[in-house]
Amino acid sequence: MEMFHSLQNQFGLMTAPLLLCSALTLMILIERCIQVLLCTGVGRSKIDALLATQSRTDEAGLDQLANSLKEKRPLLFKGVSMLISHRHFSKALREDAAGIWLQQKRSQLRSGLRLLSLIGVISPLLGLLGTVLGLIEMFKGIAISSGAVTPNDLADGLGLAMRTTAAGLIIALPAITGSQLLGLWADKVTAKLEHSLNHCNLWLEGLTLDPNCLPKVDNAKKAEAEAAS
């Protein structure tokens, strides 16, 4: 409480709103940074290696691969697991399922960013409002003062008024910057996920654009093809 009263003496009526904005900004930034660390590395190279050694006709192997990927942390592993689990459906239905899944993950990755942007807009306005209220209080004190107004009196009043604007800008800067940077990161991760899921969907259809990730051919089918030729 003593700290709050000290801050209130420095920032006036806008102390509580500015503290609330700063606390929300700090919590959202910490939570989003933890999410960044958890999602760092999409895992595409490992997925390519797994698909290159997996036969598309091995149902038991595909089920085992889907179950193992589902338990892993990277988002791409969970998305590939979802596609493999729905491999018996048509390609169009798998694309629809992947689109819905990507939209859900995009919303999760961008969670809290709108609130962060809103705080970045509101905080300077709260600071400016605090400045105006501080100036009003200063001039009210000057009006009821019977003695001469000294420069020290003006300096104290103006200092109190200006501090709220500075506090609002200090809160807004990391809020807006963090929102934009985290939004760019979320879009980048989503684009990588979309590209990798499209790649996996093509692999399930027997087509791949990556020569290092060609679908594995069963030995029996390979022998039949050689005999036919």
What pLDDT, in 10s, does the model give residues 16-63? 889 999 999 999 999 998 888 777 665 777 888 888 888 888 888 888
What pLDDT, in 10s, does the model give residues 71-123? 887 888 888 888 888 888 888 898 898 899 999 988 888 888 999 999 999 99
Q: Which two tokens stand for residue 84?
A: 């493999």
Domain extents in the chain:
16-223
CA distance 210 to 229: 26
Instruction: Give residue 208's pLDDT.
Output: 66
Report how far apart, in Å, the C-alpha atoms of 26 and of each of 1, 23, 145, 176, 221 are: 21, 5, 42, 12, 59
Q: pTM score, two decimals? A: 0.74
Instruction: Give residue 44's pLDDT.
Output: 75
Side-chain-facing half-sphere of 220: CA atoms under 13 Å: 3
